[in-house]
Amino acid sequence: MKCKRCGTCCNDIRLAESPEMLKKAYEYWLRMPSVDPKFSEIYLIYPMLTFIYENKSEDLPYHYSCKHFTRDSNGLGVCSIYEIRPRMCRDFPYYEGVQLAPEDKVSPYDGCGYNE
């Protein structure tokens, strides 16, 4: 199981938070004298995202894409901030506190190398 560098996870980031909620939280944390990165990475994540659409029938209904996703000369997906990418990207497809049943896919994306 390994990443195929297809970019699906970067171009379809699924979150529970609406664009309005993310913006409000981001603006709040900008006013804080210091931000604890263990509490939230919202100050890193919000500026990276472009809202795509909402699907109310899903557990994570808000779909975003990342502004830092690009492709190399071979057409493989790359992250332009790979060395300093947020924890949610570094840890993908594993999520803290989430336990999967043996029959569950590790990644929510069909064709993802982590599901093979």
pLDDT in tens, 59-75: 889 999 999 999 999 99
What is residue 40's predicted lDDT score, i.e. its pLDDT?
Answer: 66
- CA separation for the pair 37, 40 (Å, rounded): 5
pTM of the model: 0.83
Percent of the chain's residues with pLDDT above 90: 43
Higher pLDDT among residues 92 and 42, named by residue: 92
What is residue 101's predicted lDDT score, i.e. its pLDDT?
Answer: 63
pLDDT in tens, 26-44: 888 888 777 666 666 776 7
| pLDDT above 90: residue 53 | yes
Q: What is the mean pLDDT of residues 13-20?
A: 91
- In angstroms, what CA-CA distances link 63 with 28, 38, 52? 22, 24, 5
Q: What count of Cα atoms within 13 Å lies in the side-chain half-sphere of residue 114?
A: 16
What is residue 35's predicted lDDT score, i.e. its pLDDT?
Answer: 67
| pLDDT above 90: residue 51 | yes
Compute the CA torsion angle 24, 59, 10, 41 (nearest 10 deg).
40
Q: What is the mean pLDDT of residues 95-99?
A: 65
